[in-house]
Amino acid sequence: MKNIRLSKNTAAIFLLIRASLFALTACDVRVIDSDDNVANTNFFAAESFAFEITVNNQTRLNLTAINGPVGVIGVPGATTAKIFGERRVESESEADAKAHLKDLEVRVSDRQSEIAVNTVQPDNARGRNYKVIYHLHLPNTWKFNVDHVNGMVTIDSLRNDVLLKLTNGSVELREIFGSVEAGLVNGQLTGRLWLPTQGTCKMTTVNGPILLNIPKTTTADFSAAVTNGDINLANLALHNSVSTPKSLRGKLGDGQGAISLSTVNGNISVNGF
């Protein structure tokens, strides 16, 4: 076999090509397709957030949430609105969860007359679980609107109107002095409500019960309807009542306000205190 000798230039070119091929091979080995679906959500990464906005002319807070619990407390005489909590990503590894925390955002906007809080996350979670745990402390005289998908919503001590939409979870309204419109698809809806004169309470669920507690002095036109379930009224005087196995109508007090309750699958219970 003949020995092959390379000129200096040829040898240099050969070494350069060899180094380039090695670099390309190394890059191929390290590439991870971040678009692949993860196998489980056994690990997590989390990061807290906090916003505090001075109260000026705002009278309302609007929240758009996707996944996670929401807790709202009305604070008498509050001079700031506080929005705080935790962003959390659950994935098949801690490293992957940390890498995707940046994809989960909480955006807060002060729009003069209202504050808007929005959850932003990927449309395709690819098996990961994106969650935001919200705590909101706001002036108790503000209105509160929430549009949510999955999670428990608790609203406590507000003296104004509440507008709520939730797909999956449960709702608990505590010490609400105002009109309420609450729609829930799957879950239980519970409320303790002081209805203002000529105020309205509209509560609807598809799968789940409605439990409403109101003062005995409440004045409202009352109606309740179920498809599969029962209607129970306790400690309240309902005048001019008309009932069927699946509906109940009548007048509480002078009938100045309106209460409308309905569910497809579940019971409706209304109790006077």
Return d(Cα 230, Cα 211) in angstroms, integer: 12
Q: Which residues contact 26 (CB under 8 A, 6 or more apart)?
A: none
Q: Residue 83's closest CA among 144, 137, 11, 19?
A: 137
Read off the pLDDT of residues 226-269 as tens digits, 9 standing for 90 and up: 999 999 999 999 999 999 999 999 999 999 999 999 999 999 99
Residue 78 confidence (pLDDT): 98
pLDDT at position 35 is: 61
Strand, coil or helix: what is 142? coil
Is the CB of residue 232 less than 8 Å from the CB of residue 209?
Answer: no
- pLDDT tens per residue across span 64-90: 999 999 999 999 999 999 999 999 999
Q: What is the mean pLDDT of each run of 10 residues along the chain (273 residues)?
A: 44 44 38 68 97 97 98 98 98 97 97 96 96 98 98 98 98 98 98 96 98 98 98 97 96 97 98 98
Q: Who contacts 229 (Cβ-Cβ below 8 Å, separation ≥6)?
A: 209, 263, 265, 266, 267, 268
Type of residue at 127: G
Q: Give me the count of residues in the chain.
A: 273
The two tokens of residue 210 are 């409605």
Domain ranges of the chain: 35-142, 161-273
